[in-house]
Structure 1
């Protein structure tokens, strides 16, 4: 009941059907507002996750295997000839698939250290470390047994082996399977990208001898016809510190299979959810928004006495990191929820 200053009192008004209906409508509106706020938070989190994990480009990953060769930074590899076991005379090199540039690295001047007959049947096993099966060694079959090549960042490469027999071309093979006839594997990689700065990667070729052995069933697959070891001189791949070489950006972006490093406006997509998160129940009721916090008076900070100024180290260039679901949508949703709780406490 309501008591007035002069002692008069007014009995409470009985609840009518209209009052009860109005109360239920208010509760339903509040419940709907809460559901809408939760839905907006869910949409914001989902949108940021999709933008981060699906739509946004990522830097090209480094790889060197039968699927291709590519590095996310400029990398210099040294190719060392190990030995060869085959009747063919071969040239090993690199092809830049983006520029179509073909670079020979290791060249055999003779097929083997000593001549052998081609009519001896194959043992169908590797002859590495033995003196049989047309063995060629560094300094004899390959006079210049080491060569360096600089792989440019985010460009696609493939290794090749071009062979001949008695001066007649016998074909060219590639380290990427899909480029070979029938997509056959002609190279075995012993080691991975993390081994480039330690033991290196051993690349074993098999030239099949198809020009000499017509019967496919008689062709061997020993991957010892031409063996190369590749190691990184940059050591930005697989260990150590990346090389501090300033490289100019390419004039035109090059599309690579693993994705580029260009900027995309989808980075800003989580910011589009801010008006929805902060425009919840208070705006539906016609409120005036959140109260502005009062500034805190500044406290004077005592200055240091007579200590000489210490020069600060030059800060390194910050590396941008991609947005994540926890760092974008979740943070915005959490901030909106805390703001609403503060508003309720003030009321």
Structure 2
């Protein structure tokens, strides 16, 4: 009789946990694309470097839209403009590109309600007179226009023209591919390519389910102690 009650409690607890964990987490992405980067909760994004391709020696930063030339949050740094053995100015990690800590991955926690952008700095790049920055946010570019191609997945699709592009790193890997204005702004979107993804989404429902299981197990143990006494 007692074993049956124990099994019933465990079954209810596990079932409730599974049901709660199956509930989707509330989406936190407000914007992730050419209109900016904005979340409604603090959100940690993991970034992977894919490749660079071009003669410029560049660094990719995370910047706040209100302070777009702040270089305090570098993601990936080209230590050389490209791999010395590359026939087509290809840069790979860790040969010529790394994070500041020497890794091929990096991460950043975006604060809720703060608008951000990715910023690629390539020195005095073409056309002449620019400050060397291009941004994933169209409105921050000078002149205003698209310098990054943002899309879901990791395979670069055919580029069909500029437009307001949005992807969601909560749902899977997002790729951001930059054109650095070199070669007369050729819009090849291969000059600096990374991926972004949320890998540890807080799940309030899951935490509630785990709490229910823990509480049920505590109740079972208490009953066992009472029975022995």
Fold in common (TM above 0.5) = yes
Contact conserved, 2:32 with 2:168, CA < 8 A, in 1?
Answer: no
Q: Does structure 1 residue 221 correspond to structure 2 residue 194?
A: no
Give the TM-score normalised by the residue count of structure 1: 0.41
Higher strand share: 2
Distance (Å, rounded) in 2 between the aligned partners of 1:221 and 1:159 = 17
Q: Which of 203, 213, 218 is the aligned partner of 2:176?
A: 203
Give the RMSD, CA atoms, in angstroms.
3.2
Q: Give the whole-Å Cα distance in 1 for the aligned partners of 2:124 and 2:146.
A: 22
Q: Is the 8 A contact 2:151 2:167 kept in 1?
A: no
How many Å apart are 1:204 and its aligned residue? 0.2
Which residue number corresponds to residue 233 of structure 1? 199
Contact 2:169 2:196 in 1 (8 A): no
Alignment of 1:107 onto 2:80: no
Which consecutive segments of 4 or more residues in structure 1 shift more than 4 A? Answer: 98-101
For residues 111-190 of structure 1, the aligned pairs below 5 Å read 111-114=81-84, 132-143=87-98, 144-164=103-123, 171-190=132-151
Gaps of 5+ in 2: 1-27, 153-165, 207-217, 220-229
Higher relative contact order (CA 8 A, sep 6+): 2
Partner Cα distance (1:243, 1:161) in 2: 38
Report the number of matched residues.
160
Q: 1:242 to 1:146 in 2, by over 3 A?
A: farther
Bigger Rg over Cα: 1
Q: Structure 1 residues 189, 83: CA separation in 2 closer, same or farther (over 3 Å shift)? A: same
TM-score by length of 2: 0.61
Aligned pairs for 1:1-347 within 5 A? 62-98=30-66, 102-114=72-84, 132-143=87-98, 144-164=103-123, 171-191=132-152, 192-198=166-172, 200-209=173-182, 213=183, 216=184, 219-235=185-201, 241=203
